[in-house]
Amino acid sequence: MGRAELNIEDFTPVMQQFLRARQKLGAKSLLLFRMGDFYESFFEDAELIAKELEITLTGRPEQNYPGGRIPMAGVPARAVKPYIAKLLERNYKIYIAEQMADPKTCKGLVPREITKVFTPGTICDLDLLDSYKNNFIMAVCASGDQTQFGIAFTDVSTGEFFVCELPDKYLAQEITRIQPSEILIPAKLASRKPGQIVAEEECLINLEQFGVFLEASAYQKDNFDIDLARQNLSSVFEINSVDKLVKDSFGENSEGLGLKAAGAVIEYLKETQALEFANNISKNFDVIKTYQISEFMMMDSSTRRNLELVKNLSGGNTATVFSAMDRTSSKAGRRKLRSWLEQPLLDIQAISARQTAIKELIVNASEQNAFKASLSKTYDIDRLSNRLLSELISPRELLSLKDSLLRVVEISSLLQNFNAGLLTSLKFVPQEIFDFCRVVENAIADEPGLTITDGGIIKRAYNQELDEYISLVEDSESWMNNYEEQEKNRLGIKLKVSFNKIHGYFIETSRLNEKKLPEDYIVKQTMVNSIRAVTAELQEFEEKIVHAETRRNALEYRIYADLRVELAKYGALIKQIGLQVAQLDALLSLALLAVEQNYICPILDTSLELDIKDGRHLVVEQKLKLGEFVPNDLFLSSSPDQKIMILTGPNMAGKSTYMRQNALIIILAQMGSFVPASFARIGIVDRIFTRIGASDDLSQGQSTFMVEMTETANIINGMSEKSFIVLDEIGRGTSTYDGVAIAWSIVEHLAKNLQPRTIFATHYHELAGLEHLYPSIKNSQVLVVESGGHIEFLHKVASGSADKSYGIEVARLAGLPKSILERARAINNQLQAQKSKKLGMNKRDLANADLKQAINDDGSLEIEKLPLFNL
Ligand code: ADP
Ligand code: MG
């Protein structure tokens, strides 16, 4: 790349055209410039595209560019979609500039215009969308001191639009929950470096600093202006007082940060989707939903990750809680269920509404399959109704929508005897839905073409004028046959009347007949064996047909465009129905799961207790053979006082499984689901925290003690007495003494402050001593039995604490060679012997010497004697 300042005037006209268009776009944008059969890119864009798409970087001669060649890379216009999909995955925005005139007939420079913009967060094309999850575009805005944030996000394909205001410490967990495909943050333009065609941007918020590690894109800070936001929101959502909405939702003191973010999202959609939405974005959106982070159970990003809710530890979609529980039949239902799992509720009434519906679906077992059959035949009503609303829907999509609504009618009749509040709204299908279906049925051809400009989309008998054109076109075949017969008879030779796209209609005969052709035959083509000719009559016919066809296509397009506007009226109603259907699917999925896996309905209350009998881990259980999973109880309560459980047991005993299973039972219960247990009473949990000790946390390769400690600090700062905390092997990432010391002081802190319900798993048996010091702390252990020198894992949690590690036994089970095991046993014996020798030593020396050796004569640990803790 050249170092000199670029002067646009120095370039050839077409490059000037490119540069002018390109300079309006930001970094992370790519301009694909149509040139004949290719989309070409130039300069930095070309270098990037060549690298990302692994295509050849070529050059275009340009005299005044340093080096004489401009970097260039192109993709064939016919097959551009896969390339676009790949670039979207890498988070680029792709601007498509089309030729606005035919280069063959156009004099001078071909005019070009940007006709389409693809960005990761604004995809409308159902082919490019992942149907299993929402595709959100988000904007983030911060207060001056960056302690308060506003976020706004929308899924353009479903029309949902959310706004939230929240303090900095919740920013990361909320954004990671939402997983937006694109994040806009305010930026200002930095200067252009010499030779660079795209100006750099300087982001005003560093999201990483707040723990968000998703890629963000810079968006001019003017777009976050409050007045622009007022204007944008009131025009899109047709609300009178935007400020009132903000104050009602976020309080009198709100700085309008959510509002500013929402304004920026809309501005961005206006910029990138103007053509998609024919400048009427408001049709795509219905309501703006404001929410506060405290309305749902909170889980930070590492808790979600540790519990493998929707992604497993390696980032995949298999063997997750969601994949193990999903029994939905439709795409919209799947998205709904997933969003429930990701946002467990706090409101007992809302939870019990879901439970009531699930119960009713379970009781009516005979209808379950019928529901499933109808649901699985619905297409994505949610997304399709949005296409309808925004007048973008294609004829095929209209048919899918109609078919889906007919399924809704089936579903509705199945629901007649149901009474649960969440199920009754589908009992009655409004007349409008039948009207909609009838119009579509009458108007749209059974197998409409893909494009709406090539005809073949409107049924016969819908429009009289159209029928005439259609008959003309369709009758052409019989006319051709007649004409062929007539000419054969007239000339007495073999011939054929044919049609192809290039030459139109013609008469073809063997060259042997050349001499026999009458004067009214005009020869058009002479080939090796045959000859092609036309007659005046044939040409006249062709004109009529072509004429009819053009008319037909134009008329069909007009009819369709009108129809689309007319049908858009039904969009809002259909959307509501779509949401109900998705909800039914999610509820049915929970009912099916409960029956199949023998779950029970949990009791939720506002106490601070957890009482779970025979709880199971829903994912591990499904992987094991029937009856192999050992169920376990959990009881945490203030009377009798036991709020904190110290869980000991050797490696592989089942500690981690037990703790996660309890967290998952709580999450399931608060999302409204039944739970894998024989009984469960759950005092609503406001936040779940899970921490996995550094050396257990293999997924991120972050085996740093620092991460573990930062995360633990977040718990201490974020917990309330209603929280549930799972700490798995905390302190393992450092030396034993450090580790025990830290683990000890954390548990102690929890016991002294708030006493949130906690399970603390550790292989530091020393911690068992805490039970004697704090009434709220109780010891539990996962039992193992030793027989004949071997151990057997019982996976059973019981009171008391484990006192042996059985490390060597686990090593044996893992298949380590005998020689190593024997050597390890020998060393172990030696160490044990040394330890027992020390038992005879002066106790004071001992306390100073080694934490592990503050041991009573009977071998138990004497906590008070440890110098580490100033009790
Ligand atoms: P720990 O955390 O104590 O090292 P894990 O919880 O990782 O142990 O469990 C080790 C293995 O034991 C798991 O992979 C699982 O297959 C099995 N397991 C754990 N809990 C149970 C249980 N309750 N019933 C049956 N198998 C279990
Ligand atoms: Mg473990």
SS3 track for 136-183: CEEEEEECCCCCEEEEEEEECCCCEEEEEEEEHHHHHHHHHHHCCCEE
**Pairing relationship of beta strands 632-638 and 610-615 according to DSSP bridges:** antiparallel
Q: DSSP for 643-666, please give it.
A: -EEEEE--TTSSHHHHHHHHHHHH
Tell me if 660 sits within 8 A of 726, measured CB to CB.
yes
CA of 712 to the centre of ligand 1 (A): 24
Q: Decide: 683 and 712 in contact? Cβ < 8 Å.
A: no
Question: Per-residue pLDDT for 700 more than 90?
Answer: no
Over range 508-522, report the average pLDDT: 89
Burial of 53 (0-12, 13-18, 19+ CB in 10 A): middle
Atom 9 of ligand 1 has which residue's CA nearest to it?
Answer: 654
Terminal alpha carbon distance of the chain: 68
How far does the centroid of ligand 2 lie from the alpha carbon of residue 566, in Å? 60
Ligand 1 nearest-atom number relative to CA 729: 2
Compute, in angstroms, the gap from residue 341 CA to the centroid of ligand 2. 24
- Would the pLDDT of 720 be above 70? yes
CA-nearest residue for atom 13, ligand 1, is 654
In this predicted structure, the answer to whether residue 430 has a pLDDT above a threshold of 50 is: yes
Specify the pLDDT at position 628. 92
For residue 615, the CA-to-ligand 2 centroid distance in Å is 18
Task: Give me the pLDDT at residue 632, please.
Answer: 97
Count how many residues are written for the chain.
871
For residues 190-217, average pLDDT: 82
pLDDT at 717 over 90: no
- C-alpha to C-alpha distances, 416 to 349, 405, 425, 427, 430, nearest whole angstrom: 24, 17, 11, 6, 15
The protein residue with its alpha carbon nearest to ligand 1, atom 12, reads: 654
673, 590 in Cβ contact below 8 A? Answer: yes
Question: For 132-148, what is the mean pLDDT?
Answer: 92
For position 696, what pLDDT does the model report? 54
Edge to edge, the sheet with strand 641-642 lists: 603-605, 679-683, 610-615, 632-638, 641-642
**Residues 96, 34: contact at Cβ < 8 Å?**
yes
Closest ligand to Cα 657: 1
23-27, 244-248, 860-864: least confident range: 860-864
For residue 782, the ligand 1 atom closest to its alpha carbon is: 3
To test the ligand 1 pocket, which listed residue (306, 657, 664, 804) has its Cβ within 8 A of the most ligand atoms?
A: 657
Instruction: Report residue 633 as tokens.
Output: 């109880």
- What one-letter code names the amino acid at 740? V
Which ligand has the minimum distance to the alpha carbon of residue 810?
A: 1
Q: Annotate 667-704 with b (16+ C-beta within 10 A) or e (fewer).
A: bbbbbbbbbbbeebbbbbbbbbbbbbbbebbeeeeeee
Residue 43 confidence (pLDDT) above 80: yes
Query: Given a cut of 90, is residue 150 above it in pLDDT?
Result: yes
Mean per-residue pLDDT, 737-755:
85
Scan for tokens 């686990």, then name that residue: 810
Q: Using most ligand atoms within 8 A of CB, pick from 626, 652, 765, 782 the residue to mutate for ligand 1.
A: 652
Residue nearest atom 26 in ligand 1 by C-alpha distance: 629
With the most atoms of ligand 1 within 8 angstroms of its CB, the residue from 312, 620, 623, 632 to mutate is 620
Q: CB of 91 within 8 A of CB of 137?
A: no
Q: What percent of the chain has pLDDT over 90?
A: 48
Considering every ligand atom, which ligand is closest to the CA of 695? 2
Structure tokens at 741: 């010391």
Which of 22-31, 139-148, 199-208 tops mean pLDDT? 139-148
Distance 794 CA to ligand 1 centre (A): 9
Which atom of ligand 1 sits closest to the CA of residue 659? 6
The residues lining ligand 1, judged by C-beta closer than 6 Å to any ligand atom, are 620, 628-630, 632, 649, 651-657, 795
Say yes or no to pLDDT of 854 above 80.
Answer: no
Please say whether the beta carbons of 847 and 864 come within 8 A.
Answer: no
pLDDT band with cut points at 50, 70 and 90 for residue 560: very high
- Distance in Å, CA 655 to ligand 2 centroid: 5
The SS3 of residue 202 is strand
The C-alpha atoms of residue 798 and residue 795 are separated, in whole angstroms, by 10
pLDDT score of 278 more than 90: no
Instruction: Say yes or no to pLDDT of 866 above 80.
Output: no
Looking from the CA of residue 628, the nearest atom of ligand 1 is 25
Ligand 1 atom closest to residue 796's alpha carbon, by position in its atom list: 23
Say what the pLDDT of residue 870 is.
29
Write down the pLDDT at residue 136: 94
DSSP letter, residue 282: G
Q: What pLDDT shows up at residue 724?
A: 97
Q: Where residue 102 falls among pLDDT bands split at 50, 70, 90?
A: confident
Residue whose pair of structure tokens reads 């340009």 in the numeric block? 62
608 pLDDT above the threshold of 90: yes
The pLDDT tens digits of the residues spanning 299-330 come to 988 889 889 999 988 888 899 999 999 999 99
Dist. CA 707 → ligand 2 center (Å):
18
Residue 582 has pLDDT above 80, yes or no: yes
Question: CA quadruple 575, 581, 583, 586: dihedral positive or negative?
Answer: negative
**pLDDT confidence of residue 867:** 39
Q: Whose CA is nearest to atom 10 of ligand 1?
A: 652
Residues with Cβ within 8 Å of 364's Cβ and at least 6 positions away in sequence, in order, are: 417, 418
The DSSP secondary structure of 462-522, one letter per residue, reads S-HHHHHHHHHHHHHHHHHHHHHHHHHHHH-S--EEEEETTTEEEEEEEGGGGGG--TTPE
Which of the listed ranges 173-187, 477-491, 593-607, 708-722 does the model predict with the highest average pLDDT? 593-607
Q: Which ligand is nearest to the CA of 620?
A: 1
Relative to the alpha carbon of 659, which ligand is closest?
A: 1
Q: How far is the CA of 812 from the centre of ligand 1 (A)?
A: 17
Q: In angstroms, what is the span from residue 666 Cα to ligand 2's centroid?
A: 20
Portion of the chain with pLDDT greater than 70, in percent: 91
pLDDT at 427: 93
Q: Find the 796 Cα to ligand 2 centroid distance in Å.
A: 15
The rounded distance, in Å, linking the Cα atoms of 161 and 290 is 9
pTM of the model: 0.80
What is the rounded distance in angstroms from the CA atom of residue 805 to the CA atom of residue 54? Answer: 53
Which atom of ligand 1 is least distant from the CA of 653? 3
Separation CA 278–CA 269 (nearest Å) = 12
Q: Which ligand is nearest to the CA of 793?
A: 1
How far does the centroid of ligand 1 lie from the alpha carbon of residue 324, in Å? 17
User: Regarding predicted confidence, which is higher, 804 or 218?
Assistant: 218
C-alpha 696 to ligand 2 mean position (Å): 7
Which residue minimizes the CA distance to atom 17 of ligand 1?
654
CA of 343 to the centre of ligand 2 (A): 26
Q: Ligand 2 centre and the CA of 802: distance in Å?
A: 15
Q: Which atom of ligand 1 is nearest to the CA of 651?
A: 4
Q: Quick check: 245 pLDDT over 50?
A: yes
Measure the CA–CA gap between 142 and 149, rounded to whole angstroms.
5
Binning pLDDT at 50, 70 and 90, where does residue 421 land?
very high
Whether residue 811 is predicted with pLDDT greater than 80 in this model: the reply is no
Ligand 1: which residue has its CA nearest to atom 23?
630
Higher pLDDT, 75 or 702: 75
d(CA 800, CA 777): 12
Residue nearest to atom 16 of ligand 1 (CA): 620
Query: For the residues 510-519, what does the mean pLDDT come to?
Result: 88
Average pLDDT of the chain, as a whole number: 86
Respond yes or no on whether the N-terminal peptide bond of residue 194 is cis (omega within 30° of 0): no
CA of 651 to the centre of ligand 2 (A): 7
User: Tokens 């268009």, residue?
Assistant: 21
What string of DSSP letters covers 189-247? EPPPPTT-SS--EEES--GGGGT--S--EEEEGGGG-HHHHHHHHHHHH--S-HHHHHH
Distance 308 CA to ligand 2 centre (A): 15
Name the residue at shortest CA distance from atom 6 of ligand 1. 654
Report the nearest atom of ligand 1 relative to the CA of 649: 3
Provide the pLDDT confidence category of residue 838 given band limits of 50, 70 and 90. low
Nearest ligand for residue 676 CA: 1
Integer Cα distance of 620 and 630 in angstroms: 11
pLDDT band at 862 (very low <50, low <70, confident <90, very high): low
pLDDT band at residue 702 under the 50/70/90 scheme? very low
Coil, strand or helix: which one is 635?
A: strand
Query: Any idea what the Cα angle at residue 619 is, between residues 618 and 620, rounded to 5°?
Result: 100
Asked if residues 664 and 617 have their Cβ atoms less than 8 Å apart, the reply is yes
CA distance 703 to 729: 13
| Ligand 1 atom 18, closest CA | 654
Q: What is the average pLDDT across 19-44?
A: 89
Distance 473 CA to ligand 1 centre (A): 72
Whether residue 420 has pLDDT greater than 90: yes
Name, of 249-253, 347-351, 385-389, 709-713, the range with top average pLDDT: 347-351
Q: Which of 348-362, 471-485, 550-564 has the lowest mean pLDDT?
A: 471-485
Residue 529's SS3 state is coil
Which two tokens mark 635?
């009881």
Closest ligand 1 atom to Cα of 650: 3
**How does DSSP classify residue 602?**
P
pLDDT score, position 205 = 92
Please name the residue whose Cα sits nearest to atom 25 of ligand 1.
Answer: 629
- The closest of 594, 627, 611, 601 to 795, measured between CA atoms, is 627
Burial of 85 (0-12, 13-18, 19+ CB in 10 A): middle
Beta bridge partners of 723: none
What are the residues facing 635 on neighbouring strands?
Answer: 611
Ligand nearest to the CA of 796: 1
pLDDT at 297 > cutoff 70: yes
Ligand with smallest separation from the Cα of 814: 1
Tokens of 760: 């603390």
Please identify, by atom number, the ligand 1 atom nearest to the C-alpha of residue 657: 6
